[in-house]
Structure 1
Amino acid sequence: MPRLFTTTDPRPIRHRSTLSRRTFLTGLAAVPVIATVGCSPRTTAGAAPDTLRPLPIPPLAPSTVDATGTRRFTLTAASGTTEMIPGKRTPTWGFNGSILGPTIRARRGEKVGFTITNRLPEPTTVHWHGMHVPARHDGGPHQTIAPGGTWKPEWTVNQPGATLWYHPHPHGSTEKHAYRGLAGMFLVDDDQTTTAALPHDYGVDDIPLIVQDRRFTASGALDESSPSDIGLLGDTIITNGIAGTYFDVAGPRVRLRILNGSGGRMYNFGLADGSAFSMIASDGGLLPRPVSLTRLALSPGERAEIVVSVGQSPVRLRAFPFDDPQGIGNDDAAQFGLDDSFDILELRPAETRTPAPALPTSLATISQLNPATAAVRRRFDLQWYMINRQRMDMNRIDHTSRVDTTELWTVRNRDNWPHNFHVHDTQFQIVDVDGRRPPAHLSGWKDTVYVPPGSTIRLILRFSDYTDPTFPYMYHCHLMLHEDQGMMGQFLVLAPGQRPAPMTMPMSGPDAMPGMDHGSGSGH
């Protein structure tokens, strides 16, 4: 099947009418939901309870531990059909099933290995989003798995417990592969994340939520036509692979591991009754302490863990319209979908309820990186599907970083539409947003951050353990259309005194990589 979006796509890049920064919500706590131009507000609120279906819980991926102590998993990407909407069979892609994939679970310190086979009709990859991993096993666009091919990455898990995920990353086709269903959770455990004071019984009080949007044709097929400026936007919310879901909560609280798995849509999560919930973790793991919120905005690729209290009546998790403290006009709100509203999941109290201990007041100790110690400063301007006025080139290294060196990255959105920013291999800390300290729920480790139009965000980060003079990592906007169109760069992490290697890798197969120009590029 031909790729729809590539870095050589001949179609002109379309910007919407120029909007001032005040037309969008500012700050990371207010992320706009974007809809195709001309669409009226959408809502799925008030769906009849008897039309809801039980929330599917992705099974834990089976594994074996070999003689070397390596925990081994097997994944197969293949096509199938799924009843995403009642009464319709939709052609989909999945890992070890017709849609999504099993939840991979490993403990910090374990060595993991994978045998991944591609049974799809086109090449794909498997990227470990948020994982600290050697570059050659990162699963980015350089680790392509051909149809019928197999890839066998392995590494030692060495990072705090966190909710991560895996998804395809073939350059130019990422959005379509994820839209068709290729995604899954990767949970890293440690002593803090599995403490008895936190809900941690998978599928009982510790629930993965992969939230995505889809649009369907009359026959029930996925509608991949007419992408907007931020990608394929749907009018139906899919949670763990199906629309319209509920979950029976056995105790007074439930831990929801929320992933925004959409290609371009933003979500403003909250509870329908307006009650507060506790956020306990962000992309890279636990926060220093629980943060009480009534709204939580997540852009594509971001994750958050929240704990919700459930009383005697059902509670609905919803995606709300985005509040506008600066007075967005009705026309702009409709144009950009800011008044869209979707039900995500109904939480139903069980007849028999087990007690639970109180949430701890302290969750994790996070050592703050000091910007004054940054040896390298870089700037990344996001504009027109480019970063620093360059589109992604598989044959160009945009910068090199030295291992165990602190860097300060300034990321600026120069467009009048949303972007976010994701860095492979590492977790970063947010120094400031437009010169202001980030709010408490953004005080932990992150690998993806929303960058509002006109805003500037400073990130501090380090690359540790792994060096590779040949295989690069990526940084990019995680609105998948944008990265497919070229809003992405690549960098090498080198040891002191190490230089980029000449091209010696094979030109086909899982380790294939084209020849590279090791120029200074856009990252410096």
Structure 2
Amino acid sequence: MDRRHLLAAGVLAATGSVVASTHGASADAGTPDPLPDHLRHRATGETAVADPGVTPYTVGLTIPGQLRPTRVYADHDYYEHTMESAEVRILPGVKTTALTFGGSFIGPTIRAKAGRTVRIKYTNRLTEPANVHLHGGHVAADNDGHPMDTIPPGASRVYEYPNRQDPAMLWYHDHTHHREAEHVYRGMHGFYLLESDAEKQLNLPSGKYDVPMMIRDAAFDENGQLVFDDTVDPLQTRLTTMVNGKVQPYFAVAARRYRFRLLNTSNHRTFHLSFGDLPVVQVGSDGGLLPRPVPVTELSISPAERIDVVVDFGGRAIGSRFLLQTAELGPVLRFDVDRKAKDTSIVPAVLRTMPAPPVPIRERDITLGLSPDQQWFWIDGKPYDPYRIDATVRRGTTEIWNVHNADTDFGGIEHVFHMHLVQFRVLDRDGAPPLPGESGFKDTVHIPGGTSVRLLAKFTDFTGVYAYHCHMMEHASTFQMMAQMEVVT
């Protein structure tokens, strides 16, 4: 059975119970009841085309707009936001139907300040339930966007984010169980940049030289519409790359340093990125700045991971051009140096001081792997059950989670492990030191088949039920690779 057949078999045998809202109803343990047909995400009959007909580097890179508070109070900023279907411009001359935050294919960026509370009222204008998960956010369980805790069509909900965490590049996306893979694929994603005055004093590139870049793949039909078909291998069909919702755009840059905040929102694809011979240093990851900058020549970024880099175009001749390329799908973006600009930014030798690691009280073993019939991806040999607690954690304590990817069949199946609520440290990979870009805090980690990572996490502030899962979205959404922990007093 190859990956394509595994995906097809999983959908044809897809099971799972669907609950309208939170955690209040009961469900049978073990394998849930069969899914209703409308949740099976069967093939639409549309056929993806290999080439969407875009001439490379004829469209400029779009920078996502910024969502502004509707009201500012003494103790918090209040925003209003929507979930809605919209006709968006991805391919030149074509309107593509998308599911969006605020009517744009990439939702407007929210720039928040560390230590200052944000409250956001989301109104669901879609025809189906949806919700919001602040990926990487340290928030109360009621505001985390639990997969079963949804906003009905026509209803609204206020999420509160205390922002009591280090400045970091977070992102927000839908997390409705059985629907999150398609919802995010069709456009329900946006940046949430948590900033601080202390970080600004480092004098990294800022303002218009601090650019968020969302990189992802997709498949389009002959009419320019997004094709979502999880009965086929997405790595073989989603062959069009986008940066900030545009296919192979160009970006006019000045001959100076830029800070690029890279986010991979593909459902499955890990990208290996290269900036050619441009000097590149990684300064941050999921949970904020690294202790020290790391010079890089290639960046590996798996689904939901973030990598913060500074790229130096200084000294490059006006008219010179450089490509951001992927090893998987070729060039995704061209940089056109078209002007000079004064540059007072720097990359300090020390970016932050990491606190001493807290002492763990226990160590857990978590196994990601195929079910015995090889039609499911499970955690610890169990399918997801929203009414089962898989791990009970004491608030205020620190634990080591040894996460093992047992999927060595079919040449090894990769997984991407994400924990809600906490930022963790990567202690080691199969006993070896973590990768240089993993020296800071993270919330999402790539685990190749047959390998293990040890993670150190401290569970502070909040109690309640939180998910942990594979962030290859179909693995969790369709194939049940999700579990949940309860943090208790």
Quote the RMSD (CA, aligned, Å): 2.3
Aligned letter for 1:257? R
Structure 2 residue 193 is matched with structure 1 residue 187: yes
Report the counterpart of residue 132 of structure 1 in structure 2: 138
Q: CA deviation at 1:70?
A: 1.3
- The letter for the 2-side match of 1:406 is T
Query: What's 1:347 paired with?
Result: 335
* Greater share of residues in strand: 2
Give the CA deviation at 1:377.
1.2
Q: Which residue of 1 aligns with 2:23?
A: none
Matches within 5 A, 1:39-438: 51-195=57-201, 197-201=203-207, 204-225=208-229, 227-228=231-232, 233-271=237-275, 273-310=276-313, 311-312=316-317, 313-320=320-327, 340-369=328-357, 373-384=359-370, 385-415=377-407, 416-438=412-434
1:292-334 per-position Cα deviation (integer Å, ceiling 9, x unaligned): 00001011000011111112222211112xxxxxxxxxxxxxx
Match of 1:350, SS state, is: strand
| Deviation at residue 83 of structure 1 after TM alignment | 2.2
Give the distance between the partners of 2:278 and 2:340, measured in 1 at CA: 23
Partner letter of residue 458 of structure 1?
R
- Post-superposition CA distance 1:106-129 (Å, at most 9, x none): 111101101001111111110000
Q: Is the 8 A contact 2:284 2:440 kept in 1?
A: yes
Q: Secondary structure at the match of 1:103?
A: strand
Which of the numbers 461, 477, 485 marks the counterpart of 1:491? 485
Matched residue, 2:32: none
Q: What is the one-letter code of the residue matched to 1:253?
A: R
Q: Is the 8 A contact 1:104 1:187 kept in 2?
A: yes
Counterparts of 2:447 and 2:196, CA distance in 1 = 30
Q: Encode CA deviations 1:220-278: one digit per residue, 9 max, x unaligned.
A: 1111125445679511111111212122223511111000011001100111x344410
Secondary structure of the 1:54 match is coil
Tell me which moved more, 443-452 or 223-232: 223-232
Does the residue aligned with 1:177 lie in a helix, a strand or coil? helix
Aligned residues with identical type, % of pairs: 36
**What TM-score, normalized to structure 1?**
0.79
Q: CA deviation at 1:8?
A: 9.1
C-alpha separation between the residues in 2 aligned to 1:76 and 1:451?
35
Which of 10, 13, 18 pairs up with 1:11? 13
- The structure showing larger relative contact order (alpha-carbon pairs under 8 Å, at least 6 residues apart) is 1
Deviations 1:80-117 (A, max 9, x none): 11221222221111111131211011111101101001
1:153 counterpart SS class:
strand
- TM-score where L is the length of structure 2: 0.84
Measure, in 2, the Cα distance between the counterparts of 1:436 and 1:389.
27
1:476 aligned residue: 469
Contact residue 215 and residue 264 of structure 2 kept, 8 A: yes
> Which string of whole-angstrom CA distances, capped at 9 and with x for unpartnered residues, describes residues 348-369 of structure 1?
2232322233311110111242
Contact 1:6 1:171 in 2 (8 A): no
Unaligned runs of 5+ in 1: 14-41, 321-339, 496-524
